[in-house]
Chain A
């Protein structure tokens, strides 16, 4: 999946050298060198002291205990509310112990009488890719492999053949004689991916969002094979999210940090949508091509689209019932 990320995303412009290489290659003057040496000496002494410090020892004990509990935690969906809460707090505390910084992990459940749906206006999308950019930033996706949940396909006018479309375009958009269409997880009402999971690590929530419990996923990738829409992504290596780009507002089933060897996907930005906000892609889109809302609310914009526009869905013949519609002005 290395396409046009280099040019589009400044964060990816250069492959970051490893920490050690950075340290060795740095040009330093004598003043900085002395300062660094002094700082290192202090840090070293501090570390030595910490070794004999009962407080630090209790911290590492706590860390070990949290890791142990995390390893043996059960399937999130089957947890009692109290357990869910403990699990979420454990994530926050672990992060704090490891980095010294705090994150906000939510375990907020589905709202009553809500079923999320999405509509994509094909005539409005101009291929700006702001949605992709916002999605990556919002959902703490792996920068190293340039992981993306959204694909924007550039189609030639006169045909709608995904096989001939280009989803790795890099040029001034919109290109003459072309139109754009985005795909991502369609949050099927009859999802083929969840039923194949051998451990029920992925399921559809009552509000219609298809989620993954990253801690329960064994990484067999059967769901990836079962998805007809290329919606799922696998962490082939340890994901990398630079500390200063981390989105600290997270959800257990959403954008919290993932680990290597697990599957992830679009969650309609569960950390935002359950808070009553639009997903990041909808908010970022300058053209207004993306519409999100509650299908059960007759006054919602999405319901207006379904009622007043000629809508269609992709690969409907597979019986997956996507909650993601396309329409044109």
Chain B
């Protein structure tokens, strides 16, 4: 009897609030409640974020001198992570396009998870740029209107534009769809479909533009290749869905999300094809760099074999290539790909392999040797490692919050209580 009264009271309080307010309050309640494991997870992420914030405060006080970067390797771990994460964000399109455009039902349940991943990847990517600049307090110089935005000349201006636009799209579309479900309505195609189409084009362009940022610099022959953009897309469509498979596997285990094996199976096909394409591209790049060695191939020489006795990156790139080769072999065999244990290990290998390749193996060798041939290596410091860990924890935190609130709405457990008049 007491519980019934309480429930009724609760319903009455909720009736007095607007649906939008209810939506956010319900979301907040979902996010702040959970089992012990959930709270331990969130607390650990918070701890890592705090450590990252502390390391960043050291960097703010002393300057970027506390990083391993110098005049000759002027971008390091931060920009490497940024590059990789833009790809993660772009990969959401793998779920979005089949679901909304090709009406593929297998991806429908996972699409919101994909979009949540895109949002967290974008927040991480933007954070990595912010911690990399020397004058974060002067970032307002970028804001059109009060600052000077060097568009269309600077590819960085393009990148800021596409990243923020893509972030906005990935917030607005899922919000509309979730909110409609929350209100017990069917989302209207005429509202969301145009935005979906825009976001599909946008997803491809975020990663292309990021690749052009490097490929457009003749000063760095290692980056100055037309394959840069396509290769970015191929690696993104490998590592992105690979991570998504792992995330879906975890969600399937620990939440009541309704994801069937068919979804994971189809995603694994995407991973397989993309991973194979990646290897083809790697092969053609290696051919051009090494068939006739030139001065322009020195960075590749340094990366893969070391130059003048300096070879800090060599073990990393071979680890990455080995991981990608093994994983591609695994997913290429149907029987292995369809066995969860094998598939998950292959996805893990691909994710880490590409993280290494896009980060350490793409950005840093572009600076080595420097324009006049001197070889100065780069090793990240504890500040860079801690700040980076903090940003990754931030991303995981944002993703958890978004998924925790979205899943009960998607499963139908969480619904708005509409006042009768509104019906």
Using a CB–CB distance below 8 Å, which chain A residues touch chain B?
1, 71, 75, 78, 145, 151, 153, 161-165, 167, 183, 192, 195-201, 215-222, 224-230, 232-238, 260-263, 318-319
Count of A-B residue pairs with CB < 8 Å: 144
Contact of B148 among A199, A238, A262 (CB under 8 A): A199
A–B Cβ pairs within 8 angstroms, 12 of them: A71-B137, A199-B141, A218-B134, A218-B135, A219-B138, A224-B71, A225-B366, A236-B70, A260-B63, A260-B64, A261-B63, A262-B135
**B142 lies within 8 A of chain A by Cβ:** yes
A10 to chain B, nearest CB (A): 24
CA of A183 to CA of B374 in the docked complex: distance in angstroms? Answer: 13
Question: Is the beta-carbon distance between A218 and B62 smaller than 8 angstroms?
Answer: no
Using a CB–CB distance below 8 Å, which chain B residues touch chain A?
62-65, 67, 69-72, 74-75, 129, 132-135, 137-139, 141-142, 147-150, 153-157, 160, 213-214, 216-220, 295, 298, 366-367, 369-374
CA of A69 to CA of B246 in the docked complex: distance in angstroms? Answer: 51
* A225/B134 contact (C-beta < 8 A), A167-B374, A199-B142 known: no
CB-defined contacts of A195 to chain B, threshold 8 Å: 150, 153-154
- Which A residue's beta carbon lies closest to that of B160? A198
B8 to chain A, nearest CB (A): 56
Question: Is the beta-carbon distance between B372 and A217 smaller than 8 angstroms?
Answer: no
- Which A residue's beta carbon lies closest to that of B363? A225
Question: Is the beta-carbon distance between B371 and A217 smaller than 8 angstroms?
Answer: no
CA of A153 to CA of B135 in the docked complex: distance in angstroms? Answer: 33
CB-defined contacts of B155 to chain A, threshold 8 Å: 196
CB-defined contacts of A151 to chain B, threshold 8 Å: 372
CB-defined contacts of B67 to chain A, threshold 8 Å: 236
Question: Is the beta-carbon distance between A163 and B156 smaller than 8 angstroms?
Answer: no
Question: Is the beta-carbon distance between A236 and B63 smaller than 8 angstroms?
Answer: yes
Question: Is the beta-carbon distance between A165 and B138 smaller than 8 angstroms?
Answer: no
Contact of A234 among B71, B147, B160, B373 (CB under 8 A): B71
B384 to chain A, nearest CB (A): 13
| Closest 4 A/B residue pairs (Cβ) | A219-B134, A261-B134, A163-B373, A228-B219
> Main SS of the interface on chain A?
loop
CB-defined contacts of A261 to chain B, threshold 8 Å: 63-64, 133-135
Question: Is the beta-carbon distance between A218 and B373 smaller than 8 angstroms?
Answer: no
Question: Is the beta-carbon distance between B142 and A198 smaller than 8 angstroms?
Answer: yes
- Which A residue's beta carbon lies closest to that of B141? A199
B218 to chain A, nearest CB (A): 5
- Which A residue's beta carbon lies closest to that of B369? A163
CA of A221 to CA of B141 in the docked complex: distance in angstroms? Answer: 15
Q: Interface centre among A78, A151, A198, A227, by most B CB within 10 Å? A: A198
CA of A221 to CA of B134 in the docked complex: distance in angstroms? Answer: 8
B299 to chain A, nearest CB (A): 12
Question: Is the beta-carbon distance between B217 and A226 smaller than 8 angstroms?
Answer: yes
- Which A residue's beta carbon lies closest to that of B221? A228
Question: Is the beta-carbon distance between A222 and B154 smaller than 8 angstroms?
Answer: yes
Contact of B372 among A198, A199, A230 (CB under 8 A): A230
Given contacts A165-B373, A224-B71, A260-B134, 13 further A-B contacts (CB under 8 A): A1-B70, A78-B148, A162-B373, A163-B295, A200-B150, A218-B138, A220-B129, A225-B74, A225-B217, A225-B367, A230-B71, A235-B63, A262-B134
Question: Is the beta-carbon distance between B148 and A237 smaller than 8 angstroms?
Answer: no
CA of A38 to CA of B214 in the docked complex: distance in angstroms? Answer: 62
CA of A242 to CA of B215 in the docked complex: distance in angstroms? Answer: 41
CA of A151 to CA of B67 in the docked complex: distance in angstroms? Answer: 24
B163 to chain A, nearest CB (A): 12
